[in-house]
Structure 1
Amino acid sequence: MKRQLRAQISVVLCGAVLAGGCAPTQPFYFFEDGDLSHYLDVATQIEYPDVHEPQLDEVTSARAPLTLRNAENYEMWDLTLEEATRITLCNSQVMRQLGGRTIENAPETISRTLVSSVAVTTTYDPALVETATGSAFGSAFGGTGVEAALSEFDAQLDSSIIWRKNDTPQNRLANPIFPANFEQDQGIGTLGITKTTAVGSQVSIRNNTNYEWNNTPTPPLGTFRAYPSDWQSNFEAGFRHPLLQGSGAQYNRIAGPQSFEQYAANITNPFDGVMIARIRTDQSLADFEGGVRNLMRDVEAAYWELYFTYRDLESRKTGRDSGLETWKKVKALFDEGAKGGSADREAQARSQYFQFKALVEQGLTDLYRAESRLRFIMGLSMSDGRLIRPADEPTTAQVAFDWDGIHTESLMRRVEVRKQKWEVKKRELELIAARNGLLPRLDATGTYRWRGLGDDLIGSSTGLPPNAPGSNAFEVLTDGQFQEWELGLQLSVPIGFRRQLSTIRHHQLALARERALLQDLELEVSHQLGDAIRDLDLNYGLTETNFNRRVAAERDVEATQAAYDASRLTLDLLLNAQQRRAEAETAYYRSLVDYNLSVSKVHYRKGSLLDYNGVYLAEGPWPGKAYFDAMRRARQRDAALQLDYGFTRPNVMSRGVYDQNTGAGCTTDGCPMPQYAPGMEYAPQMAPTNAYPVPTPAEGFPTSQQTPQGVGQVTPVSYNAPSRGQLPAMQ
């Protein structure tokens, strides 16, 4: 019975345990008041930053966009391409980008990744690189700036003052001569200047002054000290000059004066001197130039795309109006029951009209969208009560380029090629510095010191020796009685040079890689230019063909309309002729715009797009105080003594200022240097150059004749084009 009872109790207990589960329970605490407002049940949550920055007026004053329902109360703004370029440059602290309309057929592997490696290019980027102070791998802008690299050669002032009180018990019995405890007052002061020279030497001058008082017995009880306290002061001048590794102006300007210590600290790439920093600045300028170039390409593309949408809308309106007139005529015949007014013809004409009406609505929306894209690239508000209408007409002149000339020019003027050549130059300099590491570290050191000791630090001349009470330390020091010097050599040689050899091999491979990239980049640039020339000729041929197609379509409509009015043709033939005319009109302006974009694309591919648009890059104005200080520094240098480092001077690494004005005369060895007149202002010129003559009115495209006008020569072509400013108003 007891056994059965125990079994039943065990089953009940197991059931109770299983029913309760394994859920944890909170402990019990005394003095708990239940206020848990400090408790947070989440570790992270989305929050908004406390940043208050003023918004652009173009954002705060933006109006509702133009749409099919909101297409009233606006005025036309006839805008030239020159003015659009000027406004864009004034409003472009950030280089905005637009997506391309078509996919490029030319190769874009290396050139796309070399320029503008950052997501967005701004006007602040070159200055940020110039003023960066981080290491080669620790800075967000690639490394040290020029000023920070130059600061490694600045003189350093260091000073310290320490006062100390010592009270130390001694392991000896107390007696009248030697006290049981050692008491001491001590002061230590140093003041020195250290300077690193361009050839790697370190020179310094320093003053060390020490004060000490202790309870060591003095006469007549003791014989160790002449007086209770004393001052010791010395001036020392020293130098440390590398004889092998780290020696020379070239190495120190490439690697920096602290490169040897960075080698010892296992830094992967210690070469971050002035010349490397300067190359980094040049590369940032190349990125900036590439951003401005892309901005000019996008603004011109957006401008001509807006021009095309106007012409395309006009052709659709022409088709809509002609379709409406045809529908009205057929509808009148249908209502009267006259011949040619059957129900099927009336439905066919009505369907054609509504088809053109839908195309007009789509074309009007495309126009608003294209105008908004131009506004964005120009930095304007999304809508301000004005509708931009291009005031310039695209050129119809045939542009002929000399292939040999523009091919050589593209290899010299493309910003991607220039940036990659700077990268090759940087790798060459790094290899020079790496080879310096194979030399042993042999430094010559020397110190010369003047000492002084006295009862006081400074006092009137006493003529007392340093061990006499009442003497002063500076008098003994200036007398030159106690002088010391030392000369020595310090040698450090890694056995085997394993790390140095690996470093050299690494930089050799890096240089080979950059040279291979440069060669492939030049091949890519050559193909890109050839593809641009191919598109140029194609689009000119299409423009010529589509113009003739447009003229033929217009005559086809006139002839078909006359035949239909004479009841010799059916209505569907007239409607088809009207549709073909609208398509021919659109195709002509599409090819004409593409031809003008092809001209711009050739300049883009050969590196002269900024020159083509009349845009030149120059440094902005500094504050007046900066010019004043710069003039003072220049006068100081003019009055100073020049230290000529002779054979250790670095080799030439730059060919001088890049000529932005023209590519004529460029060879494989470079472009000619610009000749600036004294007092010439270096203000940016934003006016685009009109390189095309105005075509004379005539019908058709005559055979073009090239005239010898140099690279990028222009031959006028006659064309019956509307004069400037004849784009229709919106209806």
Structure 2
Amino acid sequence: MKVLSCKTLKWLSVSLVVASGCTPLKKFQFGDTRQSAASYHTTLATQIEYPNVRSSLQPEVVSTPQPLTIENPADLQSRDIELDEAIQIALANSDILRSLGGSVVSTSALGSRTVFDPAITESNPLGGVEAALSAFDTQAAGQLFWNVNDRPNNIQINPILQQFQRTAYQETAATFNYELAKRTATGATFSARHNIGYSLPNTPNLAFNSAYVGWFEAEYRQPLLRGAGVDYNRIAGPGAAIGQYNGVLIARINTDVSLADFEQGIITFTNDIETAYWELHFAYHSLEAIVAGRNSALLTWQRIRELQKVGVRGGDAAAEAQARSNYYLFDVNVREALTGVNGLYAAEQQLRYLMGLPPTDGQLLKPSSQPMEGEVVFDWNSALRDALTRRVEIRRQKWNIKRRELEMLAARMNRRPTLDFLGRYRYRGLGDSLIDSRDPNNSFNSLYQNIFEGDYQEWQAGVEFGYPVGLRQASAAVANARWNLAREQSILQEQELKISHDLS
């Protein structure tokens, strides 16, 4: 029976302690042991928590005055504002392009357009222009390792040759590798490498007890079929998989599409401001007209009451009741025109929201611009031509078509086998030391002396070939690109038809 050594027992004890320390003494439970898994999820896992983020409330929001109530707007201080001023204030206060039809408070805020969108698209680390250009940046990589080898040899020691034989191979070694690689727009890759290996073995009959082995190497790889050419690498990007198009041209089109979306948001936002401005203008005039009607109804009622008092014709009870009813009806309409859903206060608050102003500030905004009066005559052909060429929706869709055309071109280029030319040249060396003064009598005095003397040179040239039989994935990518292009062209035709209908 074998007896365990003290060292073995010590490591066994440590292992048992660690294993027991990682094992809980009892099953982990939340709260009462009688809680079931369902009760845990209903009481703990679904608790509402609030994120701790660095944010501060805006002073103008916190100090918002009390909303306006039913009172005479003539008693409130008014602020005359022109349409151009309203648009200018709104654009200056709007990082978010507000819309009366949407709400940034709900989850629809994810689709809100902001002034940051073009910059976000441009700086996208996956599809932005700089990200696409980074594929052509010089890449540096290096490794540095030390290791000790101690391996038993499966040999029978010969007494005669025992001084040349070792029962174990022992070595102290180190390796250093460094590489610089640069990819070009044609798909070619230039690489420069430097490798150093150090070895101190117990092997007899060596020229040096320890030696340095290393080389300088230059490599050139040029795709000849798939992946070759400036057009392909600017569309799909170098080394792109089939169906992935992340080149510089695609990234720039994404930026142009984002700019078109931003421009469309500005146009819609400005149109909403103008609409809200003229609705407020109408609310003021509507209120004035209803107030005038109420005053007229009041005078009529008062006149009929005077006739009723003196008992003359036209002062009967039915006429007085009718006049009184008309007055109260106009009074209700005045209140509705002032505080109703489509009243003056609501229209003024909508304009304030679009302008980025507080809901109330003790003043009523009052439009001072007047609608343009006069006959405007448009030339139909000129208007139609401008609509079909200058509308931002048309320009955006044409960018989408351009993207699909480039994707189609890259997809067709992917229907080629991989054929790369490879050339490599190497200066190799061996030395007793890494760096030392040059010894003309011993070229192996140092590694770098031996390398720079150029006595040992190697080269390699050839081609690498790869071909997926059937080209099924590449053919599917071509078909997909063709259908995407057809879809975008159909959308453009539909947009042009809709614009012509809207214009007519």
Deviation at 1:312?
0.4
Alignment of 1:245-260 (within 5 A): 245-259=226-240
Deviation at 1:236?
0.4
Amino acid at match of 1:190: N
Alignment of 1:261-340 (within 5 A): 262-263=241-242, 269-340=243-314
Distance 1:403 1:56, change over 3 A: farther
Deviation at 1:435?
0.8
Amino acid at match of 2:252: R
Alignment of 1:563-712 (within 5 A): none
Match of 2:135 among 117, 127, 152: 152
Residue 112 (structure 2) aligns with = 120
TM-score normalised to structure 2 length: 0.87
Residue 391 (structure 1) aligns with = 368
Amino acid at match of 1:156: Q
1:457 aligns with 2:444: no
Alignment of 1:404-553 (within 5 A): 404-466=381-443, 471-530=445-504
In 2, distance between residues paired with 1:383 and 1:216?
91
Residue 83 (structure 2) aligns with = 81
Does the CA contact (< 8 Å) of 1:58 and 1:382 recur in 2? Answer: no
The alignment partner of 1:246 has SS state of coil
Cα deviations by residue, 1:428-457 (Å, 9 ceiling, x for unpaired): 000110111122211100001011110001
Residue 147 (structure 2) aligns with = 164
Cα deviations by residue, 1:567-625 (Å, 9 ceiling, x for unpaired): xxxxxxxxxxxxxxxxxxxxxxxxxxxxxxxxxxxxxxxxxxxxxxxxxxxxxxxxxxx
Deviation at 1:52?
3.7
Deviation at 1:88?
0.3
Match of 1:240 among 212, 216, 221: 221
Residue 56 (structure 1) aligns with = 58
Deviation at 1:162?
0.7
The alignment partner of 1:398 has SS state of coil
Does the CA contact (< 8 Å) of 2:401 and 2:488 recur in 1? Answer: yes
Distance 1:117 1:367, change over 3 A: closer
Cα deviations by residue, 1:494-540 (Å, 9 ceiling, x for unpaired): 2232322222122111111111111111111111111xxxxxxxxxx
In 1, distance between residues paired with 2:393 and 2:74?
47
The alignment partner of 2:45 has SS state of coil
Distance 1:97 1:166, change over 3 A: same
In 2, distance between residues paired with 1:493 and 1:360?
81
Amino acid at match of 2:56: P
Specify every segment of 5 or more residues in structure 2 that has no aligned partner in the other structure, as ranges: 1-24, 103-107
The alignment partner of 2:221 has SS state of strand
The alignment partner of 2:376 has SS state of strand
Residue 226 (structure 1) aligns with = 207
Match of 1:377 among 354, 365, 370: 354
Amino acid at match of 2:78: M
Deviation at 1:426?
0.3
Does the CA contact (< 8 Å) of 1:73 and 1:385 recur in 2? Answer: no
Amino acid at match of 2:367: P
In 2, distance between residues paired with 1:331 and 1:133?
80
The alignment partner of 2:208 has SS state of coil
Residue 47 (structure 2) aligns with = 45
In 1, distance between residues paired with 2:470 and 2:95?
54
Deviation at 1:288?
0.5
In 2, distance between residues paired with 1:73 and 1:48?
44
In 2, distance between residues paired with 1:119 and 1:486?
56
Deviation at 1:215?
0.6
Amino acid at match of 1:294: T
In 1, distance between residues paired with 2:109 and 2:412?
30
The alignment partner of 2:423 has SS state of strand
The alignment partner of 1:179 has SS state of coil
Amino acid at match of 1:154: D
Amino acid at match of 2:368: A
The alignment partner of 1:400 has SS state of coil
In 2, distance between residues paired with 1:348 and 1:306?
33
Does the CA contact (< 8 Å) of 2:83 and 2:367 recur in 1? Answer: yes
1:190 aligns with 2:190: no
Residue 679 (structure 1) aligns with = none
In 2, distance between residues paired with 1:282 and 1:504?
25
Amino acid at match of 1:176: Q
Deviation at 1:405?
0.5
Deviation at 1:35?
11
Distance 1:516 1:502, change over 3 A: same
The alignment partner of 2:66 has SS state of coil
Deviation at 1:463?
2.0
Specify every segment of 5 or more residues in structure 1 that has no aligned partner in the other structure, as ranges: 1-29, 101-115, 135-143, 264-268, 531-731
Match of 1:204 among 173, 191, 195: 191
The alignment partner of 2:176 has SS state of strand
Amino acid at match of 1:75: Q
In 1, distance between residues paired with 2:379 and 2:100?
31
Q: CA RMSD in A?
A: 2.3
Deviation at 1:170?
1.4
Does the CA contact (< 8 Å) of 1:255 and 1:273 recur in 2? Answer: yes
Does the CA contact (< 8 Å) of 2:234 and 2:247 recur in 1? Answer: yes
In 2, distance between residues paired with 1:504 and 1:341?
90
Alignment of 1:167-178 (within 5 A): 167-173=150-156, 175-178=162-165
In 1, distance between residues paired with 2:91 and 2:413?
47
Deviation at 1:343?
1.3
Does the CA contact (< 8 Å) of 2:227 and 2:239 recur in 1? Answer: no
Deviation at 1:327?
1.0
Distance 1:314 1:65, change over 3 A: same
The alignment partner of 2:460 has SS state of strand
Cα deviations by residue, 1:94-137 (Å, 9 ceiling, x for unpaired): 0110249xxxxxxxxxxxxxxx9962100111111111123xxx
1:403 aligns with 2:390: no
The alignment partner of 2:150 has SS state of strand
Amino acid at match of 1:252: N
In 2, distance between residues paired with 1:502 and 1:316?
68
Does the CA contact (< 8 Å) of 1:209 and 1:231 recur in 2? Answer: yes
Distance 1:280 1:353, change over 3 A: same
The alignment partner of 1:247 has SS state of coil
TM-score normalised to structure 1 length: 0.61
Amino acid at match of 1:122: T
The alignment partner of 1:324 has SS state of helix
The alignment partner of 1:477 has SS state of helix
The alignment partner of 1:384 has SS state of coil
In 1, distance between residues paired with 2:74 and 2:148?
89
Does the CA contact (< 8 Å) of 1:61 and 1:384 recur in 2? Answer: no
The alignment partner of 2:65 has SS state of coil
Number of aligned positions between the proteins: 460
Distance 1:529 1:57, change over 3 A: farther
Deviation at 1:57?
3.2
1:351 aligns with 2:332: no
In 1, distance between residues paired with 2:26 and 2:136?
66
Which range moves more in the overlay, 392-401 or 63-72? 63-72
